[in-house]
A and B are shown apart, each in its own frame.
Chain A
């Protein structure tokens, strides 16, 4: 019985640790994505300053969609 309880506790610890690792993995893709997105947007704004407003709006939309993936990984820790 005692062994079982220890095993359950260790199992819980491992699951928490795995959730943290999962968040780390989930942050890679959005990190690359947001970096690329903002970089390209800055380039677009530098090349055509008269379109800056429209580019900025679209950039925030893109960031919102990309960021959602990382945040879902973050929320998985609580579920």
Chain B
């Protein structure tokens, strides 16, 4: 029994398990996944520290990227989901922007030439991010609605008294257990599926072009899986962006739900 898909079955584990460098087989093990997570963090820090260094009136280069990205998160994710009541959407934009950019840069490795492995396809990273989101929206709920937040939010107003216990249990389960679980699984499974898909096309191409076990006539056939590989690499770029967008947007929805008492 392999809880939470931390390990992969034998055939697929070849694609996802990397040997650690220093501190192998301890919890401080540094392998490819960990290095990619650190590098993604550095890229995020670089964009926002370097981009906001000069604060030119007419932005150029990195400042342009930083400002456009932040504005995208604010206008497309934070304000529509959290709302602009007392500037709540703008107040929460930094957190959502961190989530969006970090997940985007970790995901985008799946199509980066030479690396081609999304670090989010090991469940530790999406699970940790979901735990952070869980703590933040529960904390925001306690801060906004007082110590009875968990009971208040699970007993919505306007529900008949007879079915209130059932609704309470369902709401408790869906708000505090299903939400972080589905956030984790959505990001993790999307990246795993994408990586497996690209690997399958790459292996097919290699088999047909380099091995061509049943004759040289197989070499021109390699163009078909290669075309699939190119097409799905483009598709993976879209998925990397879309998953970061969806993760940030769901985070915004959960926080907005915690902040408003009526729902």
Check if A and B associate: yes
Interface residue ranges, A against B (CB under 8 Å): 16, 54, 57, 60-61, 63-65, 67-68, 71-72, 74-75, 77-79
Q: Tell whether B43 is near chain A: CB-to-CB under 8 Å.
A: no
B residues within 8 A CB of A67?
Answer: 186
Complex contact B2–A61 (CB within 8 A) = no
Given A61-B253, A75-B5, A75-B189, A68 and B246 contact (CB-CB distance below 8 Å): no
Q: Tell whether B199 is near chain A: CB-to-CB under 8 Å.
A: no
Complex contact B189–A74 (CB within 8 A) = yes
Question: A72–B109 Cα gap in the complex (Å)?
Answer: 23
Given A61-B249, A61-B250, A74 and B186 contact (CB-CB distance below 8 Å): no
Interface residues of B in 222-253 (CB under 8 A from A): 242, 245-246, 249-250, 253
**Chain A to chain B contacts (Cβ below 8 Å), 6 pairs:** A54-B80, A61-B246, A63-B246, A68-B185, A72-B185, A78-B9
Main secondary structure of the interface of A (DSSP, over half): helix
Q: Tell whether B38 is near chain A: CB-to-CB under 8 Å.
A: no
A residues within 8 A CB of B193?
Answer: 71, 74
Question: A78–B3 Cα gap in the complex (Å)?
Answer: 9
Q: Ordered nearest first, which 4 A-B pairs have the shortest CB separation?
A: A71-B189, A78-B5, A64-B246, A68-B182
Given A57-B80, A60-B245, A75 and B250 contact (CB-CB distance below 8 Å): no
Main secondary structure of the interface of B (DSSP, over half): helix
Q: Looking at B2, B7, B186, B189, which has the most chain A CB atoms within 10 Å of its CB?
A: B189
Q: Tell whether B116 is near chain A: CB-to-CB under 8 Å.
A: no
Separation in Å of the A18 CB from the closest CB of chain B? Answer: 14
Question: A66–B84 Cα gap in the complex (Å)?
Answer: 28
Complex contact A77–B9 (CB within 8 A) = yes
Q: A64-B249, A75-B185 are in contact. List 11 more A-B contacts (CB 8 A).
A: A57-B76, A60-B242, A60-B246, A61-B246, A64-B246, A68-B186, A72-B182, A72-B189, A75-B189, A77-B9, A78-B5
Question: A71–B81 Cα gap in the complex (Å)?
Answer: 24
Question: A52–B249 Cα gap in the complex (Å)?
Answer: 17
Question: A54–B9 Cα gap in the complex (Å)?
Answer: 42
Question: A64–B186 Cα gap in the complex (Å)?
Answer: 8
Complex contact A71–B5 (CB within 8 A) = no
